[in-house]
Structure 1
Amino acid sequence: MSAKRPEIADEDVQKAFEGALRSRGRGTVPIQWVGVGMDAKGRLLEFVTVEDEPEGWLVFHAMIATTKVLNEVGLGR
Structure 2
Amino acid sequence: MVFVLERIHARHPELRAEDVAHAWEHAIVSAARSDARPFEYLAVGYDARGRLIEMVGRANENGDWVIWHAFTPPTPKARRELGLE
Would the TM-score normalized by the shorter structure come out above 0.5?
A: yes
Per the TM alignment, residue 55 of structure 1 is displaced from its structure 2 partner at its CA by 5.1
Higher helix content, 1 or 2: 2
Alignment-mate amino acid for residue 29 of structure 2: R
* Aligned residue-pair number: 75
Answering whether residue 17 of structure 2 is matched by residue 10 of structure 1, we say: yes
Counterpart Cα distance in 2 of 1:19 and 1:66 = 19
Listed as ranges, the gaps of 5+ residues in structure 2 are: 1-5
Pair 1:55–1:23, CA change in 2 (3 A): closer
Q: List 4+ stretches of structure 1 deviating above 4 A.
A: none
Aligned to 1:41, what secondary structure does the other structure show?
A: coil
Aligned CA RMSD, in angstroms, stands at 1.3
Between the two proteins, what is the percent identity of the paired residues?
A: 39
Counterpart Cα distance in 1 of 2:37 and 2:13 = 28
TM score, norm. by length of structure 2: 0.81
Higher strand content, 1 or 2: 1
Aligned to 1:75, what secondary structure does the other structure show?
A: coil
TM score, norm. by length of structure 1: 0.88
Aligned to 1:16, what secondary structure does the other structure show?
A: helix
Listed as ranges, the gaps of 5+ residues in structure 1 are: none
Aligned to 1:3, what secondary structure does the other structure show?
A: helix
